[in-house]
Amino acid sequence: MINTMSDSEYVASLMERARKAQKIAEGFTQEQVLELSQAIGWTTVLNAEAWAKLNYEETGLGNWESKYGTLLNRVKGVLRDHVTAKSVGICERDDAHGLIKIAKPVGVVGAICPLTGAAVTPILKAMNGIMGRNAVVFSAHPHGYKTTSTVVEAMREVLKKYDVPEDLLICSERPTHSASAEIMKQCDLIVATGSSSLVKAAYSSGTPAYGVGTGNVVGVIDETVDILDSAAKIVSSKTNDYAIGCSTENSIVVQTSIYDELMKALIDQKSHLCTPEEKAKIQSILWIPGTTTLNNNVICRSAYEIAQAAGIDLPEDTTVLLVEETGYGPEYPFSGDKLSPVLTVYRYEEFEDAIQLTLHIQEYKGAGHSVYIYSKNEDRIMEFAHRTHTSRVQVNQCQSRSNAGAWNNGIPFSTSMSCGTWGGNITTEPVNWKHYINITWVHRAVDTLKEPTDEYCFGSAMTDPRLNG
């Protein structure tokens, strides 16, 4: 019967099941939803190695060891945030202004999952969805379906063990663009993680949506840094799952006085500085010829594998391929995102040059996502933060391992990094449990609140001759 249904009919059947389950979830307490989120998190810990290996075996992207670490850290990080979350009932009270805020479910969430996070993304979306007393219908990437469906089925088993409706979490058995479009059309809220075209489809579906933007992180390294520490962090970031994450740096902009010393430190970390001829070879295989489209057969592989594919003989333990560049835009493809341990390197003289170069690179690709700076100069750090068009500025941290949450920073743990209006998104926040709830505002009159004076509101405009003739 299912096989004879149209995509619209099939998705409607999923939505009917999800809505029935969600009606029951509306009665859950704060303690219940936290317990379920913790149960899903602990089940992830117990299965993390198997799921990481399955993810790698199915997609061939990155490496399973990094995926294993990501699963462990992200679920624990999300739970760190969930333990203190107020996602059920009264979530805020402001007696001075007569305000009470009540958290309520959004209904059925359409969770669009990417190939690059086929395991971790559905887990975090499930945990956030349940914290808001929602049901979640998942649409897997076609090439990550086995992983995503396996994970969702395991989470459904957790719900059964806790005597709550397993249909709070449903994975569509049709990992197709048309079925995904129907999910986006029929759900109550979309949380879309994936390509820019997928996010645009979510925004044009007619359903409220949170999306992500393209990652093309630029890092600035000034002359005040600890060079050895900076080099170690850069290599650690670029080799993490072979740069599969959107938060991984794609370019670094280095102050010219430390340029040679930093290059030496990176080479000491087993990076390879490419010659112009080697750069051309890598370009010929990293992108589909004549386009700015990345070659899926090359990305998210080790530096050694990429070098081999390009006909470059390098040691097997090579960590990062360094490519020097001066320009930006479509004529300079290395200025864009690369989803690989290939790092583009620029020089700068004055700090203003570094800011302008960062802006230009991200205007080409990556607007609004993230940047970082290695510096001990607080004035420069804040100037960089004020002037770049970005949602996140990471300071003196290992980029890919910290930008989506870390134990030593306060960024919410997430796999969905929104990019504000710069990147075509509605928010600059990493999408977290707060985005899976509706808020009802209850407001009362407060005797101590009075109409302010005209002077307080209009200020000097009241006497400005330019306005008052």
Burial class (CB in 10 A: 0-12, 13-18, 19+), 346: buried
- Alpha carbons within 13 A on the beta-carbon side of 329: 3
Closest to 212 in 3D by CA, of 425, 469, 446: 425
Closest to 170 in 3D by CA, of 22, 39, 30, 5: 22
Q: How far apart are CA 270 and CA 286, in angstroms?
A: 21
Task: Tell whether the torsion through CA atoms of 251, 252, 256 and 261 is positive or negative.
Answer: negative
Catalytic residue among 113, 246, 300, 398: 246
- Alpha carbons within 13 A on the beta-carbon side of 421: 0
Does 171 qualify as catalytic in the annotation?
Answer: no
Strand bridging mode 108-112 / 217-221: unpaired
Q: How far apart are CA 370 and CA 358, in angstroms?
A: 11
Q: How far, in whole angstroms, is CA 179 from its chain's centroid? A: 24
Q: Do residues 339 and 299 lie in contact, with contact meaning Cβ atoms separated by under 8 Å?
A: yes
Q: How far apart are CA 335 and CA 357, in angstroms?
A: 10
- Catalytic residue positions? 246
